């Protein structure tokens, strides 16, 4: 399964002045296929808006060879042809979702501690986001790299570091056992999202050569 997982996830920001789509288009414009995934996350959007954004993102991600996930909504994921559904920690467990929708290719989960990551593995999640690793607005005390390492040590589910991640952090996080990183502000706050993503990809390339 890990051969289909991206190394970097970009989580959408529906409140960006250009909307969630513009920065994603610019970020993925020259990106090599398979390295980046996009998660459509927009808690307060209507179903109609989610479908519209999902269809637009599906067009962009197909053109760039990128994976598309939809947060929470299995029905929206199926309508737009997404590759994955991403579940909040207090949402349905992946095993139940696999039973109800056996055609789902990937089911990701959000987690905040080791117990959550262990539960993700037991419930056959395809991957997990563990957060917040660094300081992020409104996200509680950061774990830091050492606590992140301890939380995922010996756990088999591919885990991404989320929360305040910058390009300079990629190497340390992969050495700590992260499968990759998940970001939002680093892309959406950048004047040039494509350049911001390129910096992540450069650090990823260097780190993978050292780790693997």
Read off the CATH number of the domain in which 200 is found. 3.20.20.70
Note down the domain range covering 117. 8-211
Percentage of residues of the chain with pLDDT beyond 90: 82
pLDDT tens-digit series, residues 51-60: 999 999 999 9
Answer yes or no: is 122 within a domain: yes
Percentage of residues of the chain with pLDDT beyond 70: 98
Q: How many CA atoms lie within 13 A of 51 on its CB side?
A: 7
C-alpha 62, offset from chain centre: 17
Report how many domains make up the chain.
1
Answer yes or no: is 3 within a domain: no
pLDDT tens-digit series, residues 155-200: 999 999 999 999 999 999 999 999 999 999 999 999 999 999 999 9
Answer yes or no: is 29 within a domain: yes
Answer yes or no: is 2 within a domain: no
Q: Is the pLDDT of residue 212 over 70?
A: no
Facing residues of 111 across strands?
A: 130
């Amino acid at each position: 399964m890990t051969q289909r997982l991206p190394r970097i996830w970009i989580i959408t920001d529906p409140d960006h002045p250009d909307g969630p789509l513009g920065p994603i288009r610019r970020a993925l414009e020259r990106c090599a296929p398979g390295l980046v995934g996009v998660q459509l996350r927009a808690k307060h959007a209507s179903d109609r808006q989610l479908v519209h954004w999902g269809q637009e993102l599906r067009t962009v991600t197909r053109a760039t060879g990128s994976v598309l996930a939809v947060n929470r909504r299995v029905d929206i994921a199926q309508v737009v042809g997404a590759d994955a559904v991403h579940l909040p920690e207090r949402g349905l467990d992946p095993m139940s979702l696999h039973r109800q929708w056996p055609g789902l290719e990937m089911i990701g989960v959000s987690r905040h501690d080791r117990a959550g990551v262990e539960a993700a593995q037991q419930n056959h999640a395809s991957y997990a986001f563990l957060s917040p690793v660094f300081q992020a607005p409104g996200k509680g005390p950061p774990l830091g790299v050492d606590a992140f390492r301890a939380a995922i040590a010996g756990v088999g589910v591919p885990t991404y570091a989320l929360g305040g991640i910058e390009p300079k952090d990629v190497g340390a996080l992969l050495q700590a056992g992260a499968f990759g990183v998940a970001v939002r502000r680093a892309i959406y706050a950048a004047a040039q999202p494509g350049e911001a993503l390129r910096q992540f990809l450069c650090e990823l390339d260097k780190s993978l050569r050292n780790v693997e």
